């Protein structure tokens, strides 16, 4: 193997020359064997010698019938730490720098990382971050015993076989993986360092959970590239829906972690008798059901990262997107029993090619089942079980760019009652004018009981487009890029959808499934004035006055939370104040001299308690 075929940068050449051995990974089966300890092995412990601690096991890996199951020994490592990113360079950023957080220049640790890698048996492979012509050539250098991490990265981002590396392959991104530094330098915390150099974006992964680095780290690199070139990689799922009446509508669903992006691609969950449980009242224990004989056919387009590259934009005044990934990092915490989601269960239990399971309880040579979550503590399931599924095996997958008809925003909401007023005042769905939809993306509330990240106290914000936790630059640049999308794509409609609770009703992800079915059947038809009402809270735009789907009506209290007897107007208004004050606090971060002047007017409108008519006047 001649690693110079990858055209690595000088620092990488020095590492690869000094390492005792280098494996060029070319295929998924090769990485599966590395993950499990060799071709004949079914179990492997990923461990490193840590000064002062001896050998520390990071994860165990089992070869299973349907792929590979990797499990972390520490519950903390089973979810992404939202504070894991730091910036190692001196370029403009609003993110914490390495020096401000740790008190030293990153170059010192950078060299220590290189020195450690020189002592390890390494693996290397090349891939394209994003898509050819809409991303960049990239390289990963990792210890070979971290094969399961490399497997996840190769599945998510793709892998170019060694024999097929093109002559013009020129990496502008390198991922360096050094797990022991989590213990020696960062007190056991997840840390990912972005080092933006001239013509090169270095990414240092100091942990083996792929979420912060193999997935969101690469996402941050694409955001940084788009920031320079004037385009966005949005944080969303996208579904092309074919209704029972054969019309086609495309919905793009954004939101912070846990906001329902993956769920937007799932079919409606049904009861054993075929009915749909709309919700259960947490006070009265009353339940409400719907009966929808036939739902829309779902053709998945994107699951989490969508390229909005200028080369694919059409002239129909609708945003056009295409998937940035080769596989999906699917969270399955809501699948706790056999039969909850038959399509996903079948796809993962008997896949046409091996999958990677994380935080799933499976022993060697068994079959990994996505409802068998590992336990964080006795009686407490891990809230973030995952499975990596290649796009090519997903039924009905759409590989071409699509134009977006409806752009929705998902928010995790807590229960709201008279006795405990909260911001859980969002009805089944709300219609937003473009300027207000833009504000929701600037704030992007992380919301209630988030399953994907380490717990944070109270209500928090993920910020611009909900992808700010992964961005390396300045808020104002991303806010302006997003604002241009809203100004230019005037034929796209905007809605806001809650999940988990609507007032006193526990609803899970049912609101977005019902909204999806209803909005797809409507197509691009405009709402008549008598169909909608101004929400009592201006930030919530318009609410439906009545909603009828397949001849079944949805109760008004599911649409207008202030009409729920368990909530009432007084508790609703307290929740509205919580939400409004949160918006005012978060939006202060965007009042930058370089913000688009019209965008500044919209933010000032919110700060001055503007009305829905005010918001409608801007775009």
- Average pLDDT on 227-252 reads 96
pLDDT at position 450: 61
Residue 452: which pLDDT band, with cuts at 50, 70 and 90?
low
Q: What is the pLDDT of residues 498-530, one digit of tens each?
A: 999 999 999 999 999 999 999 999 988 888 888
Answer whether residue 368 is part of any domain.
no
Residue 458 has pLDDT above 80, yes or no: no
Answer whether residue 264 is part of any domain.
yes
- Considering the domain architecture, whether residues 286 and 305 belong to the same structural domain is answered as yes
Q: What stretches of 126-259 show up as alpha helix (H) in DSSP?
A: 147-157, 181-184, 216-229
Q: What stretches of 447-492 show up as alpha helix (H) in DSSP?
A: 475-488
Answer whether residue 607 is part of any domain.
no
CA distances in angstroms from 94 to 101, 215, 224, 441, 618, listed in the order given: 13, 21, 13, 18, 28
- What tokens does 272 get? 């054993």
Residue 459 has pLDDT above 80, yes or no: no
- What tokens does 513 get? 């499934």
- What tokens does 158 get? 């793709």
Per DSSP, what are the bridge partners of residue 543?
Answer: 430, 533
- Considering the domain architecture, whether residues 410 and 503 belong to the same structural domain is answered as yes
N- to C-terminal Cα separation, the chain: 57
Q: Edge-to-edge, what's the strand order for the sheet holding 386-390? A: 43-50, 54-64, 67-72, 355-358, 386-390, 327-331
Reported residue count of the chain is 619
CB atoms within 10 A of CB 396: 13
- Considering the domain architecture, whether residues 176 and 297 belong to the same structural domain is answered as no
Most confident of 42-46, 259-263, 549-553: 42-46
3-state secondary structure 542-574: EEECCEEECCEEECHHHHCHHHCCCCHHHHHHH
- Considering the domain architecture, whether residues 116 and 180 belong to the same structural domain is answered as yes
pLDDT at position 1: 66
User: How far, rounded to the nearest angstrom, does the alpha carbon of residue 165 sit from its chain's CA centroid?
Assistant: 30
For position 265, which CATH number holds?
Answer: 3.90.228
Among 538, 565, 592, residue at a domain's last position = 565
- Considering the domain architecture, whether residues 162 and 259 belong to the same structural domain is answered as no
Question: Which are the contacts of 395, defined by CB distance < 8 A and separation ≥ 6?
Answer: 343, 347
Cβ–Cβ under 8 Å, residues 306 and 252: yes
Answer whether residue 292 is part of any domain.
yes
Among 565, 583, 609, residue at a domain's last position = 565
Cβ–Cβ under 8 Å, residues 188 and 84: no
Tell me the C-alpha distance between 167 and 148, whole Å.
28
Q: What is the pLDDT of residues 167-211, one digit of tens each?
A: 999 999 999 999 999 999 999 999 999 999 999 999 999 999 999
Residue 74 has pLDDT above 90, yes or no: yes
Residue 56: which pLDDT band, with cuts at 50, 70 and 90?
very high
Residue range of the domain that includes 250 = 233-319+404-565
Answer whether residue 397 is part of any domain.
no
Crossing angle (nearest 10°) for helices 28-35 and 147-157: 150
Residue (of 8, 24, 452) closest to 260 by Cα position: 452
Answer whether residue 197 is part of any domain.
yes
Q: What is the pLDDT of residues 115-167, one digit of tens each?
A: 999 999 999 999 999 999 999 999 999 999 999 999 999 999 999 999 999 99
Record the pTM. 0.93
- Average pLDDT on 466-474 reads 95
Residue (of 294, 321, 316) closest to 521 by Cα position: 294
- Average pLDDT on 272-287 reads 95
Q: What is the pLDDT of residues 21-36, one digit of tens each?
A: 999 999 999 999 999 9
User: How far, rounded to the nearest angstrom, does the alpha carbon of residue 71 sit from its chain's CA centroid?
Assistant: 21
- Considering the domain architecture, whether residues 302 and 447 belong to the same structural domain is answered as yes
Among 214, 229, 244, residue at a domain's last position = 229
3-state secondary structure 114-156: HHHHCCCEEEEEEEEEEECCEEEEEEEEEEHHHHHHHHHHHHH
Cβ–Cβ under 8 Å, residues 496 and 432: yes
Answer whether residue 435 is part of any domain.
yes
Burial call 285-298: b when 16+ CB within 10 Å, e when fewer: eeebebebeebbbb
- Considering the domain architecture, whether residues 206 and 246 belong to the same structural domain is answered as no
Residue 457 has pLDDT above 60, yes or no: no
Residue 283: which pLDDT band, with cuts at 50, 70 and 90?
very high
Residue 85 has pLDDT above 80, yes or no: yes
pLDDT at position 390: 97
- Considering the domain architecture, whether residues 493 and 550 belong to the same structural domain is answered as yes
pLDDT at position 341: 86
For position 37, which CATH number holds?
Answer: 3.40.449.10
Residue 454 has pLDDT above 80, yes or no: no
pLDDT at position 55: 95
Tell me the C-alpha distance between 372 and 362, whole Å.
8
Dihedral (CA of 222, 223, 226, 227) sign: negative
Question: Do β-strands 375-377 and 297-302 pair in parallel, antiparallel, or remain unpaired?
Answer: unpaired
Query: Mean pLDDT, the chain, as a whole number?
Result: 94
- Considering the domain architecture, whether residues 45 and 104 belong to the same structural domain is answered as yes
- Considering the domain architecture, whether residues 147 and 293 belong to the same structural domain is answered as no
- Considering the domain architecture, whether residues 186 and 290 belong to the same structural domain is answered as no
- Average pLDDT on 459-483 reads 93
User: How many domains are contained in the chain?
Assistant: 2
pLDDT at position 523: 86
Residue 312 has pLDDT above 80, yes or no: yes
Answer whether residue 273 is part of any domain.
yes
- Residue identified by tokens 């190769």 is 154
Burial class (CB in 10 A: 0-12, 13-18, 19+), 366: middle
Cβ–Cβ under 8 Å, residues 504 and 283: yes
Cβ–Cβ under 8 Å, residues 152 and 165: no
Integer Rg of the chain from CA: 24
pLDDT at position 334: 86
- Considering the domain architecture, whether residues 237 and 124 belong to the same structural domain is answered as no
Tell me the C-alpha distance between 543 and 613, whole Å.
14
Tell me, what DSSP letter sits at residue 233? Answer: E
Tell me the C-alpha distance between 328 and 355, whole Å.
11
């Amino acid at each position: 193997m001649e690693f110079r075929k990858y055209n690595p940068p000088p620092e990488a050449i020095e590492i690869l020359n000094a390492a005792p051995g280098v494996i060029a990974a070319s295929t998924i089966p090769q990485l599966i064997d590395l993950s499990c300890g060799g071709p004949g092995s079914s179990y492997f412990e990923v461990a490193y010698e840590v000064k002062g601690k001896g050998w520390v096991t990071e994860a165990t890996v089992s070869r299973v019938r349907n792929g590979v199951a990797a499990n972390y020994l520490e519950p903390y490592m089973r979810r992404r730490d939202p504070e894991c990113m730091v910036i190692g360079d001196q370029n403009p950023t609003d993110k914490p720098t390495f020096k401000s957080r740790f008190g030293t220049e990153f170059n010192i640790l950078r060299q220590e990382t290189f020195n450690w890698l020189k002592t390890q048996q390494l693996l290397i492979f090349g891939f394209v971050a994003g898509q050819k012509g809409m991303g960049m050539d990239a390289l990963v250098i990792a210890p070979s015993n971290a094969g399961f991490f490399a497997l996840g990265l190769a599945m998510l981002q793709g892998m170019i076989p060694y024999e097929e590396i093109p002559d013009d392959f020129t990496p502008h991104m390198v991922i360096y993986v050094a797990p022991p530094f989590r213990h020696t330098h960062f007190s056991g915390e997840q840390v990912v360092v972005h080092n933006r150099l001239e013509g090169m974006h270095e990414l240092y992964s100091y942990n083996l959970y792929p979420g912060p680095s193999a997935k969101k780290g690469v996402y941050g690199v694409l955001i940084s590239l788009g920031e320079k070139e004037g385009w966005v990689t949005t944080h969303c799922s996208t579904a092309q829906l074919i209704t029972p009446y054969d019309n086609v509508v495309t919905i793009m669903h954004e939101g912070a972690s846990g906001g329902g992006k993956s769920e937007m691609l799932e079919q409606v969950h049904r009861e054993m008798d075929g009915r749909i449980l709309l919700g259960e009242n947490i006070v009265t224990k009353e339940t409400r059901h719907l009966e929808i004989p036939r739902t829309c056919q779902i053709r998945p387009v994107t699951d989490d990262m969508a390229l909005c590259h200028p080369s694919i934009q059409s002239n129909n005044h609708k945003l056009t997107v295409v998937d940035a990934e080769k596989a999906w990092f699917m969270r399955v915490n809501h699948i706790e029993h056999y039969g909850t989601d038959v399509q996903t269960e079948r796809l993962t239990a008997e896949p046409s090619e091996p999958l990677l399971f994380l935080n799933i309880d499976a022993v060697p040579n068994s079959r990994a089942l996505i409802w068998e979550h590992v336990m964080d503590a006795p009686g407490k399931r891990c809230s973030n079980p995952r499975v990596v599924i290649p796009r090519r095996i997903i039924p009905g997958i759409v590989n071409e760019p699509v134009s977006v008809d409806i752009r929705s925003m998902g928010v995790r909401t807590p229960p709201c009652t008279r006795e405990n007023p909260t911001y859980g005042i969002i009805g089944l769905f709300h219609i937003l004018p473009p300027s207000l939809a833009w504000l929701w993306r600037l704030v992007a509330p992380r919301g209630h009981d988030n399953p994907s990240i380490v717990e944070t106290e109270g209500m928090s914000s993920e910020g611009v487009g909900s992808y700010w936790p992964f961005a390396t630059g300045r808020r104002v640049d991303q806010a302006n890029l997003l604002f241009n999308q809203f100004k230019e794509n005037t034929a796209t409609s905007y809605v806001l959808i809650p999940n988990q609770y609507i007032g006193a009703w526990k609803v899970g992800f049912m609101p977005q499934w019902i909204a999806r079915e209803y909005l797809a059947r409507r197509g691009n038809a405009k709402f008549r004035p008598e169909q909608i009402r101004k929400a009592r809270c201006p930030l919530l735009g318009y609410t439906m006055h009545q909603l009828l789907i397949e001849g079944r009506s949805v109760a008004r209290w599911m649409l207008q939370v202030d009409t729920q007897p368990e909530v009432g107007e007084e508790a609703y208004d307290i929740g509205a104040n919580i939400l409004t004050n949160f918006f005012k606090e978060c939006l202060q971060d965007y009042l930058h001299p370089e913000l688009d002047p019209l965008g500044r007017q919209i933010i000032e409108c919110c700060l001055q308690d503007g009305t829905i008519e005010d918001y409608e006047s801007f775009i």
